[in-house]
Chain A
Amino acid sequence: MTWVAIIGALAIWAVGWFINTRLANGPKSDARLVGLLVPIIFGLTLLLMWEWLVRMLEVNAVILPPPSAIGVRFVSELPRLWADFEQTIIKGAMTGYLFGAVAAFAVAILADRSDFLTRGILPVGGFMAALPIVGTAPIFVKWLGSGWESKAAVVGVMVFFPILVNTVAGLRDTTAMQRDLMRTYGAGYWPSLFKLRLPAAMPFIFNGLKIATTLALIGAIVAEFFGSPTVGMGFRISTSVGQLALDMVWAEIVVAAIAGSTLYGLMAWIEGRVTFWHPSQRK
């Protein structure tokens, strides 16, 4: 039985790999469709192997549920997943992200007027961005209660530093020639900020904003492990793990993955719109 399971899994792998190798080394390998198809086939192959192995080896659902069970759970629990999504992502992560980003942006603009402050903020901010700030979650939960406000605060602090450092670095990214040109136009501080330095900083700012989307989700979910109302993705994950309802945990992770890549994609899309002039956006 075990042998049948393993040979079957290897056969699935071989088929998927054969198709992908043919596609990737074939004449149309640069086509857009193939570029999309190959990773999808790879993902499907892994899912099929997972399903096959779990079913054939009769792995206990407490250890690893098959993908089909996760899918069923996802569909049947859609209302609850939506409520969790609203609580954690929209109220917790998005509010915190917005406040953190606006605060970082404001501080960066203020600090940018002084070279002294800039030189201080860049190393300190870079240092803070590398620290395990998620650890402040229990403190914020104690201060602000277990509602979404404490999650927003954790998220705000987590996203603040990467955005700050990137914005400050971006605002310095103009050449002396460009600044001189603005001066010959008679542009003062504000016009040159809005027309030269902010646009030039946009690729950096969006880099920070994109890093921060993942951080925001992590902060909001992990902070719920420390106390939350009876709704929310982190709450559901920790209680479902306790009840050994692992298919529910996986369903939440699917939601987190969709939310994470959607947010990142959204930021990348806005970036493409705003910084269409930048070399990295050229097709």
Chain B
Amino acid sequence: MKSVLPVLTIVAAILFVWVLAVIPMNMHLTADQAQRDGLVVSPETPAERQDHSGLGLSLRNPSLLGLTFVQERPRLPSPHQVAVEMWDTIVMKKITSKRSLVYHGWVTLSATLLGFAIGTGLGILLAVGIVYNRAMDMSVMPWAIASQTIPILALAPMIIVMLGAIGIQGLLPKAIISAYLSFFPVVVGMVKGLRSPDGMQLDLLRTYHASPAQGFWKLRLPASVPYLFASLKIGISASLVGAIVAELPTGARAGFGARMLVGDQYGQPLVTWAALFAAAITAAALVGLFSLLERLTLRRMGMVRA
């Protein structure tokens, strides 16, 4: 609790810098608009204004400062504009509307969750295989680790086209990219977790005459839970990024990525910014959800939070 004040301070500082940055970023736009509306602007022609920086122009036209915050198509929207746009598209629109961010969010989220479930499931299975089979360990593990240094996301457009060519469209291609991104962190984390019981604990089970299956269910699996949750938190945010990026270069019609692209192409920066923040909130909510589950599970299992 003692970090609430510092966190708020940092957030306030970021917002403050943002608000200040709005002025020079939008000044040229604002000046052009103000002139069209008949206000006096110095210097008088747009060409001359191009020679000035946004900051210089702001200093010469202090009367226009307020207008920089209410531009319809700002280069940098002010925080309240983004907030209003988000309120409009999340709360005020019907969920079924094509402009509702809840609708687009669900499109992205469903692909994320499906992919995350697939990736996590396969990842845990592979990790069990790696821990119990030495050949598998030596063959697969170096590749699993190396694959984390590779920008897998670059594969996204190709996977979509590949699957499209054999007739798979819609949710599944995005889910596969999400699955792919969450797969490797889970494998690496689970292998670490399943191997975390030390020699003493394994020996204890041997003195109990426990079978390998009992060793797995009663010792290795429970011991791996803290590692699993650490991986899940990385995996879920990677899945979300994967689903968003999968929507970007492929002309998707719906989803956060599609909204960002629409805002970009049709000159509606507020749409882009609102989608961006909605995606950020979704990511934060997912990670927060898993942190909560982590704490509840570990407390229930009697483990101190690692």
Of the listed stretches A49-57, A138-146, A184-192, A197-205, chain B binds: A138-146
Q: Does B199 contact A (CB under 8 A)?
A: no
The CA-CA distance from A83 to B161 in the complex, in Å, is 25
B139 touches A39 (CB 8 A): yes
What's the least CB distance linking B161 to chain A, in Å?
A: 5
A222 touches B165 (CB 8 A): no
Q: Does B154 contact A (CB under 8 A)?
A: yes
Known interface pairs A39-B142, A136-B276, A241-B161. Does A252 touch B154 (Cβ–Cβ under 8 Å)?
Answer: yes
Known interface pairs A120-B6, A237-B158. Does A214 touch B150 (Cβ–Cβ under 8 Å)?
Answer: yes
A237 touches B276 (CB 8 A): no
Contact residues in A for B153 (Cβ distance below 8 Å): 134, 218, 221-222
The CA-CA distance from A256 to B256 in the complex, in Å, is 26
The CA-CA distance from A7 to B267 in the complex, in Å, is 55
What's the least CB distance linking B122 to chain A, in Å?
A: 16
A20 touches B138 (CB 8 A): yes
The CA-CA distance from A217 to B151 in the complex, in Å, is 6
> Could you give, for residues 95-127 of chain A, a 1 whenever the CB lies within 8 Å of some chain B CB and a 0 otherwise?
000000000000000000000111111111001
Contact residues in A for B275 (Cβ distance below 8 Å): 135
Of the listed stretches B44-52, B55-63, B204-212, B236-244, chain A binds: B236-244
Q: A interface, how many residues as a size bin? A: 35 or more
Q: Does B296 contact A (CB under 8 A)?
A: no
> Could you give, for residues 52-67 of chain A, a 1 whenever the CB lies within 8 Å of some chain B CB and a 0 otherwise?
0000000010111000
B244 touches A214 (CB 8 A): no
The CA-CA distance from A139 to B165 in the complex, in Å, is 31
Q: Does B20 contact A (CB under 8 A)?
A: no
Q: How many A-B residue pairs have CB under 8 A?
A: 167
What's the least CB distance linking B22 to chain A, in Å?
A: 13
> Could you give, for residues 188-228 of chain A, a 1 whenever the CB lies within 8 Å of some chain B CB and a 0 otherwise?
00000000000000000000000001100110011001100
Known interface pairs A38-B135, A63-B162, A117-B10. Does A222 touch B248 (Cβ–Cβ under 8 Å)?
Answer: yes
What's the least CB distance linking A112 to chain B, in Å?
A: 13
B151 touches A63 (CB 8 A): no
The residue on A at minimum CB distance from B264 is A138
The residue on A at minimum CB distance from B234 is A130
Among B7, B149, B157, B244, residue most surrounded by chain A Cβ atoms (within 10 Å): B149
> Could you give, for residues 251-283 of chain B, a 1 whenever the CB lies within 8 Å of some chain A CB and a 0 otherwise?
000001100110110000100110110011001
Which listed residue (A38, A138, A217, A234) contacts B139, Cβ 8 A? A38
Q: Does B148 contact A (CB under 8 A)?
A: yes
The CA-CA distance from A260 to B152 in the complex, in Å, is 10
B154 touches A234 (CB 8 A): yes
Which listed residue (B11, B134, B139, B154) contacts A221, Cβ 8 A? B154
The CA-CA distance from A257 to B9 in the complex, in Å, is 41
Contact residues in B for A214 (Cβ distance below 8 Å): 148-151
> Could you give, for residues 240-269 of chain A, a 1 whenever the CB lies within 8 Å of some chain B CB and a 0 otherwise?
010010100110110011001101110000
> Could you give, for residues 64-100 of chain A, a 1 whenever the CB lies within 8 Å of some chain B CB and a 0 otherwise?
1000000000000000000000000000000000000
Q: Does A229 contact B (CB under 8 A)?
A: no
Q: Does B287 contact A (CB under 8 A)?
A: yes
Q: Does B96 contact A (CB under 8 A)?
A: no
B149 touches A218 (CB 8 A): no
Which listed residue (B10, B135, B155, B240) contacts A253, Cβ 8 A? B155
What's the least CB distance linking A268 to chain B, in Å?
A: 9
Contact residues in A for B272 (Cβ distance below 8 Å): 138-139
Known interface pairs A131-B280, A138-B260. Does A24 touch B6 (Cβ–Cβ under 8 Å)?
Answer: no
Known interface pairs A218-B154, A222-B153. Does A119 touch B3 (Cβ–Cβ under 8 Å)?
Answer: yes
Q: Does B93 contact A (CB under 8 A)?
A: no
The CA-CA distance from A122 to B7 in the complex, in Å, is 9
Contact residues in A for B284 (Cβ distance below 8 Å): 127, 130-131
27 contacts between A and B (CB under 8 A): A23-B138, A24-B139, A39-B138, A39-B141, A42-B140, A63-B166, A116-B6, A119-B3, A120-B3, A124-B10, A127-B284, A130-B287, A131-B283, A132-B244, A142-B264, A214-B148, A214-B151, A217-B154, A222-B245, A234-B154, A252-B154, A253-B155, A253-B158, A256-B150, A260-B151, A261-B146, A265-B149
